[in-house]
Structure 1
């Protein structure tokens, strides 16, 4: 097996994967970067326009609205999705009757296509035909909040639906991490008089720091890929008030045929997502070194 340790054979081993990654990841990124400096519309000849697309983006109020909505979804996901997923994993990792069925039930939405999840929640949150407003009316509440399709609540409703779909996925990762913890450490702490809360705070959470980092990175990158939920629930409306960055990029590129501006938006989505992921990674590394 010594031949595996040579650089030549190592390069041969990774070459196929590197080639596929370059074709499907690196090349599209460079392709988008090039067209972001043009005014290409998909029909006429490509004309270099420099930074015009980025200047237009800086003055585009819909872009800033989409950025704010993406930030709302990200904030809610970080504040609620990760803690709730961890607490559910802790509860279901104990000796609870039917815990396996409960885990399967919570995980079920994660395997449903996001576009179908959006269609399901239309019948729950729609202001006119939704079950929520029908229930409020049945109990005598006259107000009909515009959970989706309104100017204010749409990003929060999208964040809630995203949380509902992804919490089972987060729970599964935390559950796997909890099950891998050494049982003898927890048993020794119990014999020393540590309560379940103390074990959770001083043993389980510190030992799951790497798992928290992985989940945080997955949640951050997942939020920047939210598209189908927005497309199904609101279509970005009304008047683009519920757009997120990816849905607005899709609208500009494939609805208005402004490919150059759409590629500029794609580049910004990539950069913002990469910076957020990088900040998460560096924060996790710093906490690991401090511990």
Structure 2
């Protein structure tokens, strides 16, 4: 009876979170999956067409361009943001004058709405009115197509994403470093470990879980980028700067191809899950070895 009572207590505590997760995650994913096999324009009854929407996306050059842009942002964002935020956390741990203010300034962009972040950076990166090209003009250098072009746009979006996210990631690393046991750190110092050796052999291995949390959060955030692209380029010109989410928005709400848009939403969900699970598997293998 005690076991049954304990089990019901656990279920009662888990139930609210499980209900919310079902309503706001499981149900929308299942709903999107169902409509991804239909032809539906927002009115009337959806017509079942099987895998035709997925086949259409496979032949859509704009989809592949959006996928390419998203993967570029993912690679650049994760490669720069994770080690950069970790380094910032280590630097801002030091007892220097104004360290608290610096931490607040670094974290500041994380609390700005993404739509406002995009608006801020439009006035910096826009080829015609941007401050960056004005500075280049004052220096006698030619202007650069930072956004809206064929080459630099995904890298510019990655830069803005890093700027807006690095403070949040830094805070997680900072908290993780604070939780490391002091006796272990002191023992490594007494054993004669240099600062670099302590970082490589003690700090980083003990913070593997923190690295995994930050990396997964950044991966999932990249697959949700919409507002930045919407404000910086609107996905143009001719969809060359789209990400997967911005192209899904265009397909679903502008073209009113709801079935096709839901198929794209399913692909985004699967890609995000696959990349996250693959990273977790690799990190566990490294930890085991």
Please state which band the TM-score falls in when normalised by the shorter chain.
over 0.9
SS at match of 1:6: helix
TM-score normalised to structure 1 length:
0.95
Structure 2 Cα separation of the partners of residues 12 and 193 of structure 1:
52
Structure 2 Cα separation of the partners of residues 106 and 222 of structure 1:
18
- Once the two structures are superposed, the pairs formed by residues 184-223 of structure 1 within 5 Å of their partners are 184-223=183-222
Per-residue CA distance 1:166-209 (angstroms, 9 max, x = gap): 01011111111111112222223223322211111111111111
SS at match of 2:47: coil
Aligned length: 289
Counterpart of 2:232 in structure 1 is 233
Counterpart of 1:70 in structure 2 is 70
Counterpart of 1:175 in structure 2 is 174
Structure 2 Cα separation of the partners of residues 54 and 7 of structure 1:
43
Per-residue CA distance 1:4-53 (angstroms, 9 max, x = gap): 76334433332232222212211111111111011100023211111110
Residue 96 of structure 1, CA deviation:
2.1
Residue 210 of structure 1, CA deviation:
1.1
Q: CA 1:9–1:190 in 2, change beyond 3 Å: closer, same or farther?
A: closer
Structure 1 Cα separation of the partners of residues 17 and 182 of structure 2:
38
Counterpart of 2:274 in structure 1 is 275
Counterpart of 1:87 in structure 2 is 87
SS at match of 2:43: coil
TM-score normalised to structure 2 length:
0.96
Structure 2 Cα separation of the partners of residues 227 and 208 of structure 1:
31
Residue 104 of structure 1, CA deviation:
0.5
Structure 2 Cα separation of the partners of residues 46 and 115 of structure 1:
33
Per-residue CA distance 1:126-165 (angstroms, 9 max, x = gap): 0011000000000111x11111111211110000000011
Per-residue CA distance 1:251-280 (angstroms, 9 max, x = gap): 000001000100000000011111111112
Counterpart of 2:107 in structure 1 is 107
SS at match of 1:205: helix
Structure 2 Cα separation of the partners of residues 171 and 138 of structure 1:
35
Counterpart of 2:242 in structure 1 is 243
Structure 1 Cα separation of the partners of residues 231 and 168 of structure 2:
21
Per-residue CA distance 1:54-79 (angstroms, 9 max, x = gap): 11010000000011101000001121
Counterpart of 2:40 in structure 1 is 40
SS at match of 2:149: coil
SS at match of 2:39: coil
Structure 2 Cα separation of the partners of residues 49 and 188 of structure 1:
65
Counterpart of 1:287 in structure 2 is 286
Residue 99 of structure 1, CA deviation:
1.0
CA contact (8 A) 1:230 1:243 kept: yes
Structure 2 Cα separation of the partners of residues 97 and 4 of structure 1:
56
Root mean square deviation, CA, Å: 1.5
Per-residue CA distance 1:232-257 (angstroms, 9 max, x = gap): 11111110001000000000000010
Structure 1 Cα separation of the partners of residues 187 and 19 of structure 2:
50
